[in-house]
Amino acid sequence: MTKYPVEGGELVEYTPDSLVNLIEPPKFFLRPVTERERRRLRKLAIQEGLRSHDVAKLREETLNGLRELWSEQVFAEQEGRLRAFWDAYDQHEQEQEGKEDPEPFEHPDKAAMMELSERITRAWAPLLRMVADNNEWDETWPKLIASITVAGWRDLDARYERSEGIVGLDCLDEMEKALDAVEAQAMTDQVDGVIGHGTAFRQLIVRCIRLFSVSKAEEKNSESPSKSSTTPNTSKASGKEQKAGSSAAKNSSETLAN
């Protein structure tokens, strides 16, 4: 495969776990992160127009939508159930924090509340915009981290290009496609360790995020990221992580008629 130059300096060499058994696996070179890079990341997020809304604001807007789109009686009936559901979820999250194998969140109103939340989100434009903002943030923010952290790659047929110290998002997109192609071929060849489409890129992103989250001394003792896992559906129930509008409550055609 084509080789591309790597910038000088103290770099961390990394190959996604899922591709380490390839005869010639792609190698990525990641540079140490300083406070300057962290400030650069915040600036890039502003330049990209990214916005992130926390759980409290999403929940508040969910209640605003319920109040504005349904009758006072329905709001009075459902507000308490929403708040009780959120409180139960928050308590569960607190109890499971730090556990290696956290238990899934279960609640008797879980399905109904998520259904109501989706209904409010679709109907209430302010909440829908907030959810769209968070989805864009979730998709772009990790790539911005990679755009700062990735200092080069080899054994991957994709162009490497930096401008003012940053790898452009379009360049990262091309690299992701090339990595997906390598991964697809590895799956066809039944290479050990290959998990599924997109895993290698997610593992690379996780590694970049870890470099942003630890000091240089800690990085020397850190290990390569384990296989990526998807966000559990329970996070949607409270509006955490992403899909924030899914923080909802009881719904039925009888109690929620306009």
H-type helices in 34-168, by residue range? 35-47, 55-69, 72-96, 110-123, 125-149
pLDDT of residue 9: 53
Q: How far is the CA of 210 from the CAs of 22, 135, 216, 223, in angstroms?
A: 24, 21, 11, 10
What is d(CA 103, CA 229) in angstroms, rounded to the nearest whole number?
Answer: 15
Instruction: Decide: 86 and 59 in contact? Cβ < 8 Å.
Output: yes
Only one residue has tokens 């990085």, namely 219
**163 - beta bridge partners?**
166
Instruction: State both tokens at 61.
Output: 């807007």
Ordered DSSP codes for 245-257:
T-------TTTT-
Supply the pLDDT for residue 129.
Answer: 97
In this structure, the number of other CB atoms found within 10 A of the CB of residue 74 comes to 17
pLDDT of residue 165: 84
Distance separating alpha carbons of residues 168 and 148, to the nearest angstrom: 9
CA distance 161 to 81: 52
CA dihedral 54, 136, 13, 211 (to 10 degrees): -20
Per-residue pLDDT of the chain (258 residues; tens, 9 = 90+): 444 444 445 889 999 999 999 999 999 999 988 888 888 999 999 999 999 999 999 999 999 999 999 999 999 999 999 999 999 999 999 999 999 999 999 999 999 999 999 999 999 999 999 999 999 999 999 999 999 999 999 999 999 998 888 999 999 999 999 999 999 999 999 999 998 889 999 999 999 999 887 544 444 433 333 333 322 232 344 333 333 333 333 333 333 444
Task: Look up residue 148 and give its two tokens.
Answer: 């700062």
pLDDT at site 241: 36
